[in-house]
């Protein structure tokens, strides 16, 4: 028994009203296959799929995909922008203070915006973005324990 058919990157681009190009399809596929990737890593993944593409084209493509809601841009304080393919749900992130690793955290409080602002200043709030900070398992394990684990 098979699940529902997953649309191709080209079909998703068309459905979002974007022009379909090999670079844009590769960009979407790279972000979806990655794990909170930075622009340089995304550019490398796109180049692996389609050959040469300029960094400017990657930035422009990411802007278009983000505006269309196909990818999500996150910007942890003090770090570069990261992109992810997990969109359309209400989730947050945890960031390692040491190595900057980013992981998804499901919202514990329900549907978006999942948190209520103490004062909304007349805004209609539709999303809350929470970033938890700490140390990932690798960075919180003393180096001597890491050496023992790897043997």
Q: Which tens digit of pLDDT belongs to each residue from 67-111? A: 999 999 999 888 899 999 999 887 889 999 999 999 998 877 666
Annotated binding site for Zn(2+): 96, 99, 136, 139
Strand, helix or coil for residue 134: strand
Domain ranges of the chain: 1-88, 89-151
3-state secondary structure of 125: coil
pLDDT at 47 over 80: yes
Q: What angle do CA 16, 62, 83 make, to 5 degrees?
A: 105
Question: Which pLDDT value is given to residue 90?
Answer: 78
| 89-151 CATH, one of 3.40.50.80, 3.30.565.10, 1.20.140.10, 3.30.1490.190 | 3.30.1490.190
Model's pTM, two decimal places? Answer: 0.80
Q: Could you tell me the fold of the domain covering 1-88?
A: Arc Repressor Mutant, subunit A (1.10.10)
CA distance 121 to 101: 34
Indicate the annotated binding residues: 96, 99, 111, 136, 139
Q: List residues forming the annotated binding site for Fe cation.
A: 111
pLDDT tens, position by position, 114-149: 667 776 788 887 777 888 899 999 998 876 655 555
- The whole-number average pLDDT for the span 19-23 is 94
Q: Omega of the bond prior to 113 within 30 degrees of 0, cis?
A: yes
- Residue 36, exposed/middle/buried by CB under 10 A (0-12, 13-18, 19+)? buried
Q: Is 35 helix (H, G, I), strand (E, B) or coil?
A: coil
What pLDDT is attached to residue 51?
Answer: 94
């Amino acid at each position: 028994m098979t699940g529902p058919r997953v649309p191709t990157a080209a079909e998703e681009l068309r459905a979002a009203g974007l022009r379909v190009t090999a670079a844009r399809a590769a960009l979407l596929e790279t972000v979806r296959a990655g794990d909170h990737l930075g622009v340089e890593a995304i550019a490398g993944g796109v180049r692996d799929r389609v050959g040469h593409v300029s960094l400017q084209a990657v930035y422009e493509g990411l802007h278009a995909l983000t505006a269309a809601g196909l990818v999500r841009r996150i910007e942890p304080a003090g770090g570069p922008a990261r992109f992810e393919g997990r969109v359309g749900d209400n989730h947050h992130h945890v960031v390692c203070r040491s190595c900057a690793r980013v992981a998804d955290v499901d919202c514990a409080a329900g549907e978006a915006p999942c948190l209520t602002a103490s004062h909304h200043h007349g805004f209609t709030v539709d999303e809350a973005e929470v970033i938890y900070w700490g140390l990932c398992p690798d960075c919180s394990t003393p180096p001597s324990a890491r050496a023992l684990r790897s043997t």
